[in-house]
């Protein structure tokens, strides 16, 4: 049921990792709120950390101007501040001590007189918002992630920019692979979802695409690269998702961040695989981990437009009293779903996805065997 209470003052926050298009959302939401509805807007600094520490400041038309093409977020962000499990320090053994500080965040929002919050983030941020909804706060969510892995939406802003960056990197490394007759592996982000790897791999014509959803056999990958070499293809390009793992094996963990809501940081599988391919085949191999370059920089035109649509739609939802919902794209159209339905969940690639079928049809190797095992 819609809440028809007039909205006079709102907050905007960006949570989780940075992403191209965040400022475009801030711009669209702020200007729509002020120009169309006369709503006062406050920026919450550094995601949930700003709610916990009561760090907020007013946003006006000037604040929201000339930021459309700017990467990052003018509000700052944090991927460690979970109000339901916030690190307060360490105990006598040096172990982190966590507390539930949601009541503190609620009190700060009430003190500032915010009627609700536009929350821009991924599944972890929506989980944090859902925890505060349980405490009585009101949110409208905007889906952000280069991983494109939020449930119930076909696309998130930031994804297309990351695809463009990853594709450009694969294209550039392709020329080196060809010149030096090497097997070149390019590792992309994405955690447990292979959307970024799949799209960039297809766009760049990668010979092998390894994604988390399809565990690979090392012998299949090696045989494929050797087979190309025997057919006169003296090089191979591999697009590798950071969450990729062999059949029966485990993901490669770069580090563990104990005070983060998502403590496991993946990375390095391409380096491990590169050495294994070299040892088994004798082919010269190199690995490149793209890392944070995929998240930085100016958003591409598609993401600027999508982020603007999302920011505008978020304000329309809250004005209509449609709180605690996430703006999404379904069948090419904007709509919304309850935030609780996307919290702590990931949208991964299904085996029958049309892109998988298209890639297999043109001879792309996914490292699995013909029987699907």
Residue found by looking up tokens 């594709």 in the block: 167
Three-class secondary structure of residue 139 per DSSP: strand
Buried (b) or exposed (e) across 224-235, using 16+ Cβ within 10 A? bbbebbeeeeeb
Residues 259, 139: Cα–Cα separation, whole Å = 25
Residues 237, 69: Cα–Cα separation, whole Å = 32
Residue found by looking up tokens 């460690």 in the block: 80
Tokens of 280: 């088994």
Q: Give the gyration radius of the chain's Cα atoms.
A: 22
Three-class secondary structure of residue 84 per DSSP: coil
Residue found by looking up tokens 């697009």 in the block: 239
Residues 6+ apart with CB under 8 A from 335: 327, 328, 329
Q: Let me know: does 151 contact 347? Beta carbons within 8 Å.
A: yes
**Segments in 249-353 forming alpha helices (H):** 269-281, 301-319
Buried (b) or exposed (e) across 164-192, using 16+ Cβ within 10 A? bbbbebbeebbeebeeeebbbbbbbbbbb
Residues 189, 291: Cα–Cα separation, whole Å = 7
Residues 6+ apart with CB under 8 A from 53: 108
Active site residues per annotation = 147
Q: Which residues pair with 265 in a beta bridge?
A: 255
Residues 6+ apart with CB under 8 A from 49: 55, 78, 80, 81
């Amino acid at each position: 049921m819609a809440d028809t209470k007039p909205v006079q003052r709102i907050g905007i926050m960006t949570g989780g990792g940075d992403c191209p298009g965040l400022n475009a959302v801030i711009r669209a939401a702020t200007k729509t709120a002020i120009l169309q509805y006369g709503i006062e807007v406050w920026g919450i600094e550094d995601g949930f950390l700003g709610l916990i520490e009561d760090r907020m400041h007013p946003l006006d038309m000037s604040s929201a101007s000339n930021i459309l093409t700017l990467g990052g977020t003018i509000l700052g962000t944090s991927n460690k501040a979970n109000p339901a499990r916030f690190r307060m320090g360490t105990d006598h053994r040096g172990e982190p001590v966590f507390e539930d500080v949601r009541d503190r965040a609620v009190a700060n929002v009430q003190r500032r007189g915010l009627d609700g919050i536009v929350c821009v983030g991924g599944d972890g941020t929506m989980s944090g918002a859902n925890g505060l909804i349980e405490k009585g706060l009101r949110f409208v969510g905007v889906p952000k992630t280069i991983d494109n892995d939020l449930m119930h939406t076909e696309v998130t802003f930031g994804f297309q920019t990351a695809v463009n960056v990853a594709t450009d990197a694969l294209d550039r490394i392709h020329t080196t692979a060809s010149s030096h007759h090497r097997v070149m592996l390019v590792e992309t982000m994405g955690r447990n979802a292979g959307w970024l790897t799949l799209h960039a791999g297809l766009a760049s014509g990668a010979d092998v695409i390894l994604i988390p959803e399809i565990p690979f056999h090392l012998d299949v990958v090696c045989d494929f690269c050797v087979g190309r070499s025997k057919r006169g293809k003296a090089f191979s390009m591999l697009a590798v998702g950071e969450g990729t793992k062999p059949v029966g094996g485990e993901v490669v963990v770069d580090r563990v961040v104990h005070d983060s809501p998502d403590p496991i940081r993946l990375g390095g599988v391409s380096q491990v695989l590169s050495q294994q391919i070299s040892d088994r085949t004798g082919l010269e191999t190199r690995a490149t981990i793209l890392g944070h370059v995929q998240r930085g920089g100016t958003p591409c035109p598609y993401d600027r437009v999508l982020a603007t649509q999302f920011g505008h739609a978020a304000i329309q939802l809250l004005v209509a009293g449609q709180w605690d919902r996430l703006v999404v794209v379904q069948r090419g159209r904007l709509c919304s779903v309850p935030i609780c339905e996307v919290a702590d969940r990931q949208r991964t690639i299904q085996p029958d996805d049309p892109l998988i079928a298209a890639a297999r049809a043109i001879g792309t190797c996914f490292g699995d065997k013909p029987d699907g095992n």
